[in-house]
Amino acid sequence: MITMFICVCNALPEETVRTLAREGMSFEEIQAVTGCSSCCGSCREFAEAVIEQSRHLPGSRSSTLPVLSMA
**pTM given for the model:** 0.77
- What DSSP line would sit under the chain, residue for residue? -PPPEEETTTTEEHHHHHHHHHTT--HHHHHHHH-TTSSS-TTHHHHHHHHHHHHTSTT-TGGGSPPPP--
Per-residue pLDDT at 51: 96
Per-residue pLDDT at 57: 74
pLDDT digits (tens, 9 = 90+) for 18-66: 999 999 999 999 999 999 999 999 999 999 999 999 988 777 665 544 4
The residues with which 12 forms a beta bridge, in sequence order, are 7
Q: Predicted confidence band at 67 (pLDDT cuts at 50, 70, 90)?
A: very low
Q: Kindly indicate whether the domain formed by 5-61 is annotated with CATH number 3.40.50.150.
A: no
